Amino acid sequence: MKRLLIVFIFLVISGFFAKAQEVADTIAIEEVRITAKYIFKKEQAGQKNSRVDSVVLLDKVNLNLSDVLSENTPVYIKEHGRGALATASFRGTAPSHTQVQWNGMNINSPMLGMVDFSLIPVYIIDDLSLNHGGSSIKEQSGGLGGSININNKVDWNNRFSGRYYQGFGSFSSFDEFGQINIGNKKIQSKTRIYSNSSENDYSFINKSITERPKVENKNGNYSKIGMAQELYFRASENNYISIKTWGQIAQRSIPTVQSYEGADHANLNSQDDNTIKAVADWKHYNKKSKLYLSAGYDYQSLDYILENEINGMGKIPAIYSESTMQTIQSNLKYNYDLSDKVSFQTTFNYKHSNVNTKDSVLKTGYDVVRDDYSVFGGIYLNVFKKINLSLMLRNDINDYNFSPVIFNLGASYKPFIDKDLVIKGSFARNYHHPTLNDLYWQPGGNPDLKPEEGFSGDLGIGYLYTNDNLKVSSGLTGFYSDINNWIIWLPSFKGYWEPFNINRVKSYGIELNLKVSKNIKKTNFLIQGNFGITRSLNYGDPKVWGDESYKKQLPFIPSHSGNLLTQIKYKGFYIRHQFNNYGERFTMSSNEVNPDDNSVDVGASTESGKLGWYYPFYMNNLTLGKDYKLKKYKLGIELKVKNLFDEQYRSVLNRYMPGRYYTLLLKISFNK
């Protein structure tokens, strides 16, 4: 890594030298600022929506979506290790309570109900937005915490352009990404190919073993290779057709838990995750209406193998689980503007899911088909110019069983016509069906589970100020939700785990966001951050399930979290500092832990009385870079230092994360 640092410093110094010599064909890249007025839209009345800045997507381009969400949004990501499973908790809810859309198609696993965000590379994302809380019912039901929307965009002005990134860094990590865009005013094509791999053999002090040895993260290697293809066709001025596909092959080994003291060749875990996704859509625009029709296909496979190597017999599988999930979806959406003051929206969604899972060793599995229908209607009103109102209704049919009607009632108020200050609030009811694993997993599935349902409310204020050199946007939102029939898996007297409807969970807190962008001559300064406080408390029946967990914070949910991105750019040079912090997290529903826990060795103290927790950690990442422009080509070099101060931390028991490590990224792009 010292060599990487020397190369980087040499190239940066050479950039200054080239500038001093006034090389004719090398010029500095000028800052391009894109600003937009705060849109007081009636269609967003009362809703809390946020969009991840393009600067963030650029900084995380060679990382996964889990990194973007954990470091730049209020969403908490529970990581099982670098490159391993990463799930989301949105506003203190479960991973299955966050719905994820890819170009309008839901990609939550019908088997697990959640998304592994470590498997989604930032390479394939052009636009990333979040719907908080009840705002998510506009897309679909089930987002008790919210929804995350991943989209690709077309540039009709493109003729021939592309980019290529090559990255390499610590732990024998390699990243490669290429993109070609070609087209005209009628048709556009975007092709992306990428690969990502790492031996992931970082070292750490294993405090889960009595001797506290320094060990290597063995059997932690992973790789991803994928391709995305987009085609856009402008049939006429008001008809647009697009086809988007994405395929990926991911392989990873799963390290043995750090408390294990047996032979290295025992308990070998591996997992393969493959996917093929495709969506085709047609958009028709009229003066007062818009019609949107789409159809999509989502194939996911998950193969998990646990092997033990036995002398004289070789590797003997203890678990050999193969699962395939196929989903067909179709969506019909129609918007109509009756006037500037009134608009309507209606949608119809159909989803057909087929899950087949089997374990050839344990001789278990299931094969189930599920059909979901959903109808949505919304009306949006502007009253006296200063008030926007919205009412959204959705009704689902799950396997031919009608669900209760869910809704979102929202209002926004703009006190001053000439000021971008908006006060908004909403009240919503939402509904989430059990996953197929909850119902049919063998052994343990419970077909008698009730759907989870709850009410939620938001109240917030947003402000935007802009002039020629300064842009300030901020927001403060308070939220509350009350969820009944919360599904939780517990050990049963039968000797295995089963899911039950036992918990009532109340979640409340605040979300604060701030973004400041300032130009001073040729220097641009950017500061943006989020801060959240979340109390997610168990209000299950204490008489049945014990008082120890009653009114206690749910396991692994931090009570507070925050992140801050700071960037300075000057004549193509830039420096970014990313800071994020997670507060204390408990490991058990009782907010206590067994005496042999090692929390005292990673930040807790016996005087605190909190031995069953993860101590708060503070993560710092630094990026240094330089962009060059050579006629129609742009060249760039970038050094990333992750975990700058070598923090020791973990998200789950017995899974330590790496200390300080480095990545060098080389970039080239062109536009002809």
Amino acid at 592: E
Expressed in angstroms, the distance from the first to the final Cα of the chain is 36
Non-local CB neighbours of 151 within 8 Å, separated by 6+ positions: 102, 103, 104, 125, 126, 127, 128, 129
13 exposed, middle or buried (CB, 10 Å; 0-12, 13-18, 19+)?
A: exposed
| 257 pLDDT more than 70 | no
Give dist(CA 646, CA 202) in Å, integer.
12
Whether residue 380 is contained in a domain is answered as yes
129 exposed, middle or buried (CB, 10 Å; 0-12, 13-18, 19+)?
A: middle
Residue 578 contacts residue 565 (beta carbons within 8 Å) = yes
- Closest by CA to 412, choosing from 428, 393, 389, is 389
pLDDT value, residue 613: 67
pLDDT value, residue 337: 95
Whether residue 396 is contained in a domain is answered as yes
Give dist(CA 73, CA 57) in Å, integer.
12
pTM comes to 0.89
Output the CA torsion sign for 16, 20, 23, 29: positive
- Closest by CA to 118, choosing from 252, 216, 258, 218, is 252
| 291 pLDDT more than 80 | yes
- Closest by CA to 90, choosing from 151, 50, 143, is 143
Mean pLDDT of all residues in 264-288: 89
Give dist(CA 55, CA 528) in Å, integer.
10
| 7 pLDDT more than 90 | no
| 246 pLDDT more than 50 | yes
* pLDDT tens figures, 516-532: 999 998 999 999 999 99
| Residue 244 DSSP one-character state | E
Give dist(CA 240, CA 292) in Å, integer.
10
Residue 255 is part of which domain span?
Answer: 2-583+616-671
| Side-by-side strand order, sheet with 98-102 | 48-51, 127-132, 146-151, 98-102, 105-106
* pLDDT band at 583; cut points 50, 70, 90: confident
168: left (phi over 0), alpha (psi -120 to 50) or beta: beta
Say how many domains are in the chain. Answer: 1
Cis peptide before 555 (omega within 30 of 0): no
Residue 561 contacts residue 532 (beta carbons within 8 Å) = yes
Lowest-confidence range among 326-335, 358-367, 481-490, 496-505? 496-505
pLDDT value, residue 524: 94
Whether residue 551 is contained in a domain is answered as yes
* pLDDT tens figures, 191-236: 999 999 999 999 887 766 656 677 888 888 999 999 999 999 999 9
Whether residue 50 is contained in a domain is answered as yes
Whether residue 605 is contained in a domain is answered as no
Average pLDDT of the residues of the chain: 86
pLDDT value, residue 209: 62
Give dist(CA 72, CA 135) in Å, integer.
20
Give dist(CA 18, CA 226) in Å, integer.
38
pLDDT value, residue 117: 96
Whether residue 455 is contained in a domain is answered as yes
> What's the Cα-to-Cα distance from 300 to each of 329, 351, 436, rounded to whole Å?
14, 15, 15
Mean pLDDT of all residues in 464-473: 91
pLDDT value, residue 95: 93
| 488 pLDDT more than 70 | yes
Helix (H) or strand (E) holding 191: strand 187-198
| Residue 261 DSSP one-character state | -
Mean pLDDT of all residues in 410-417: 94
pLDDT value, residue 91: 93
| 185 pLDDT more than 90 | yes
SS3 assignment for 549-601: CCCCECCCCCCEEEEEEEEEEECCEEEEEEEEEECCEECCCCCCCCCCCCHHH
Whether residue 592 is contained in a domain is answered as no
% of residues, the chain, pLDDT over 70: 87
| 372 pLDDT more than 60 | yes
DSSP string, 627-651: EEEETTEEEEEEEEEESTT----BS
Non-local CB neighbours of 518 within 8 Å, separated by 6+ positions: 469, 470, 471, 524, 525, 526
Whether residue 601 is contained in a domain is answered as no
Give dist(CA 367, CA 355) in Å, integer.
6
| Residue 602 DSSP one-character state | G
| 433 pLDDT more than 80 | yes
Residue 482 contacts residue 506 (beta carbons within 8 Å) = yes
Helix (H) or strand (E) holding 371: strand 364-383
CATH number at residue 417: 2.40.170.20
